Homo-oligomer: A and B are copies of this chain.
């Protein structure tokens, strides 16, 4: 029978090395999620709306993603206005899906841990001789 409890001595087991901070940041996770759902790209103004970001914030995060090779930026014209299109690169897609598979694992383990165990009583001291801080 599988024992789902991990030994707390498993070094680095919860360090989540695969959670690349470039992708894990909340706003950038939103940008990438919206781009994977819109693979021909989204206009800057559309991204702003679906991600609820300000111009400045969106700009900053898109630049981080571009620098990391995860998105590409295109300029085009709509009438007299120059508009910006942001599109996920192939590398971005691959790295985002890797990141998503790490999240998937975290979710599965949390659900397993929360459901398969007897809930320890939370009131009172954990053992004799302990005092709260």
Contacts and interface: CB of A to CB of B under 8 A. Distances in A.
A75 B51 CA distance: 43
Contact of A122 (B5, B53, B89, B129): B89
A97 B27 CA distance: 21
Describe A's contact surface by its main secondary structure. mixed
Interface string A37-77: 11111110011011111000000000000000000111111
Interface of A: 4-6, 8-16, 19, 21, 24, 26, 29-31, 33-34, 36-43, 46-47, 49-53, 72-77, 84-85, 87, 89-90, 93, 96-97, 100, 103-104, 106-107, 109-111, 113-114, 117, 119-120, 122, 125-127, 129-133
Contacts of A53: 15
Given A8-B38, A51-B14, A100 B110 contact: yes
A114 B97 contact: yes
A72 to B, nearest CB: 6
Contacts of A84: 133
Given A40-B126, A52-B15, A8 B34 contact: yes
A50 B19 contact: no
Contact of A117 (B14, B39, B75): B39
